[in-house]
Amino acid sequence: MQNGTISNWNDEKGFGFILPKSGAKTIFAHIKDYSREHKPPIKGLEVSYLISTDPKGRTCAVEICPVNGHKKIGRGFRQKALSLILLSTFAIILFYLYSSSVIPLSIVGIYAFMSIITFAMYAKDKNAAEWGQWRTQENTLHILALVGGWPGASIAQSFLRHKSKKLSFRVTYWITVIINCGVLIWLVSPEGRFWFNNVMKNINFG
């Protein structure tokens, strides 16, 4: 193991550089090679690491771990707990609306299906970010959330630690949640239910 200090870190892109304690030149470090038991890296953090090479043959640091402290506490746990509470609450609401014959099973299915697809797209984008591959556009992730995938997006953000810190993305995400829930509220109204039933009849006849 070698010791060094995080000389700079790009939290959004998930990588940075370590300045070795030996005085050698900086070495590349990626979030996928950083300890998941600790809080995200910050500039000036003293770490231990091993030297390796990435798939392209470039020198990089692996098994990166803070030398002292920096344990993951508080924020990450709260974010996961809140996302689970949000998902559970919304699932209970959907079940109540369905069991009361306010919404059809198809709407519940849409939310479940879109949440799975959205979670998978977040996972794909996180993997692409870690390996420098083609990324999924943020607008695509927002559209998926808007059409019913926002519960899956919430779980992905908290458990995959992806797209969970960029303020502009988070603000837009919550706007999609509000719009989607507003549409759902309209769909449970007499006018909304009448419109949805007509749409489904036309689809079935087609």
Residues 185 and 107 in one domain: yes
Residues 53 and 79 in one domain: no
Q: State the Cα–Cα distance between residues 76 and 81, nearest whole angstrom.
A: 9
Residues 52 and 133 in one domain: no
Residues 16 and 36 in one domain: yes
CATH number of domain containing 19: 2.40.50.140
Confidence class of residue 73 from pLDDT cuts 50, 70 and 90? Answer: low
What is the structure's pLDDT at 54? Answer: 84
Query: What is the model's pTM?
Result: 0.66
Residues 45 and 138 in one domain: no
Residues 109 and 14 in one domain: no
**Which string of b and e fits 16-33 if b means at least 16 CB within 10 Å?**
bbbbbeeeeebbebbbeb
Whole domain around residue 51: which residue ranges? 2-66
Residues 109 and 174 in one domain: yes
Residues 94 and 138 in one domain: yes
Task: Report the share of the chain in percent with pLDDT over 70.
Answer: 96
pLDDT tens readout for residues 54-67: 888 889 999 999 99
For residue 77, is pLDDT > 80? no
pLDDT tens readout for residues 108-157: 999 999 999 999 999 999 988 878 788 899 999 999 999 999 999 999 99
Residues 114 and 166 in one domain: yes
Residues 143 and 50 in one domain: no
Element (H, E) at 125: helix 105-131
Mean of the per-residue pLDDT values of the chain: 90
pLDDT (average), residues 177-201: 90
